Amino acid sequence: MGAFTVASDHPKQADLDRCVHCGLCLNACPTYRELGVEMDSPRGRIYQMVQVASDAARIGPSYIEHIELCLACRGCETACPSGVRYGRLVEAARAQIESAIRRPLAARLVRRFVFGRLLSSPRLLTAAGSAAYLYQVSGMQRALRALARFRLLGKLGDLEQLAPAAEPPFFFSQIGKVFPAEGERRHRVAFLAGCLANVCFARLNEATVRVLRKNGCEVTVPEGQTCCGALHVHSGLPEYARGLARRNIDAVLSGNYDAVITNAGGCGSTLKEYDELLEHDPAYARKARRFTSLMRDVNEFLAAIDLNREMGPVAATATYQDSCHLAHGQRVRAAPRKLLSEVPGLELREMPLSDICCGSAGIYNVLQNEMSQQLLGKKMESVNSTGASLIVTANPGCMLQLQAGARLHGQGQRVAHVIEVLDEAYSRAAGSPAAK
Ligand code: SF4
Ligand code: SF4
């Protein structure tokens, strides 16, 4: 057993038994659609997990390759009529792999640093963000991107396209603050600001606070909050994630909130599954269930309340790309579309296959860059077919991927989060200072 997994971190027989091998999930699976290989389909991956669970096969290079090529996008979960909990299965399979193999020293050190230190340290993230900002403004980024255009940087050029931009001042300075509701207070909410998002999506986090305040929310950004642990869970490191989950639970449950809000679809599905992550922890199981019951994606929350409709026009044709973990992990599809339909001047055009993954999938686009690029190319064909000038989504990771897509294969589209579109509409409302 590795230090980052426990004995129960393996695919459960009851979950595996739910699959009746009908194949109705195959067409919903991006890797199967690309490769047409059964072992890279949900059914094929489950079959391999069953083989490992029954000791008919060992955890070897082929098994690891097929499990790692999965995006954990959970498109198969939506398609499956038998209710297979595929997300839970693949996360457990990855944890089992982690406990069974020993990675090369360099990989172990990088993983320990990124997952064990960097993502949960405001100090290290601030230092990394400051260095990234220097790289952006010094002209180095522009020079490297120019070289990448002529394919002079090879794979590094592809990865550079995905690098998030640092956005000083970072949002860490807002943690611990309480923002009053505009007008009558109707809700008290806590906002979880993420980890990297404090550095790379600081403006999105600020917009989220503004939009919530416009909707009668007193917004607290609780002290003591940390990374949600989603990247850890997806990378087979659930014990790290459990440590982070306990910190977030303590940070939030010490307040008295109507809801706990995230603006990241990817984080939201892990945050909503803290009850399962900590089900065997006697000290936290009950608290985790309470935490889970309060968790809301910001789209879901706003679509369920009496929305403030004092908005000005955002004249654009937009298309919405589902965040996989919002659509398939949390089953939230209608809420972002409903919010966008409230924005005056905005025309929403659905793209084909909007709920097929764009290839972002956490850090998948870095680790499995070739497949990710293939999926992004297909995604941008769908986007381009709509003629939309604005691509809207609901997860920061998808935004980065789609920004790269717009640069590499697009037609000059802008990429925005649903909340940024609402924020723009509120700023243009009659009487708002920005509208004058
Ligand atoms: S995961 Fe679901 S849809 Fe796919 S083969 Fe199994 S039972 Fe059928
Ligand atoms: S999670 Fe996504 S990539 Fe993985 S098997 Fe399911 S549909 Fe395919």
With a 6 A CB cut-off, is 251 part of the ligand 1 pocket?
no
Residue 219 and residue 158: Cα distance in Å, rounded? 38
Per-position b or e across 311-343, b if 16+ CB within 10 A of its CB? bbebebebbbbbbbbbbbbbebbebbbebbebb
Return the residue matching tokens 């900002």.
133
pLDDT of residue 363: 84
Q: Whose CA is nearest to atom 4 of ligand 2?
A: 70
Using the mean position of ligand 2's atoms as its centre, give its distance from the Cα of residue 187 in Å.
37
367 or 51, greater pLDDT = 51
Closest ligand 1 atom, CA of 41? 4
Q: Which ligand is nearest to the CA of 85?
A: 1
Per-residue pLDDT band at 1 (split at 50, 70, 90): very low
- 97 neighbors 59 (Cβ within 8 angstroms): yes
pLDDT of residue 81: 98
Question: In sequence order, what are the beta bridge partners of 316?
Answer: 346
pLDDT digits (tens, 9 = 90+) for 343-371: 999 999 999 999 999 999 888 888 898 99
With a 6 A CB cut-off, is 377 part of the ligand 1 pocket?
no
pLDDT, the chain, mean: 94
pLDDT of residue 143: 78
Q: Whose CA is nearest to atom 4 of ligand 1?
A: 25
Using the mean position of ligand 1's atoms as its centre, give its distance from the Cα of residue 77 in Å.
8
Closest ligand 1 atom, CA of 20? 7
pLDDT digits (tens, 9 = 90+) for 179-230: 999 999 999 999 999 999 999 999 999 999 999 999 999 999 999 999 999 9
Q: Whose CA is nearest to atom 2 of ligand 1?
A: 80
Using the mean position of ligand 2's atoms as its centre, give its distance from the Cα of residue 278 in Å.
24
pLDDT of residue 69: 97
Token pair, residue 242, equals: 């459990």
With a 6 A CB cut-off, is 367 part of the ligand 1 pocket?
no
For residue 402, the SS3 value is: helix
pLDDT of residue 367: 87
1 or 60, greater pLDDT = 60
List pocket residues of ligand 2, CB cut-off 6 Å: 28-31, 42, 45, 70-76, 86
What is the average per-residue pLDDT within 90-114? Answer: 94
- Reply yes or no on whether the pLDDT at 436 is more than 60: no
302 residue type, one letter: L
pLDDT of residue 354: 98
Q: Whose CA is nearest to atom 5 of ligand 2?
A: 42
Per-residue pLDDT band at 435 (split at 50, 70, 90): low
Token pair, residue 393, equals: 């989504």
With a 6 A CB cut-off, is 82 part of the ligand 1 pocket?
yes
Largest CA distance in the chain: 70
What is the average per-residue pLDDT within 375-398? Answer: 97
- 367 neighbors 394 (Cβ within 8 angstroms): no
pLDDT of residue 282: 97
DSSP 197: H
Using the mean position of ligand 1's atoms as its centre, give its distance from the Cα of residue 26 in Å.
8
pLDDT of residue 362: 83
Using the mean position of ligand 1's atoms as its centre, give its distance from the Cα of residue 269 in Å.
21
pLDDT digits (tens, 9 = 90+) for 284-328: 999 999 999 999 999 999 999 999 999 999 999 999 999 999 999
Using the mean position of ligand 2's atoms as its centre, give its distance from the Cα of residue 131 in Å.
35
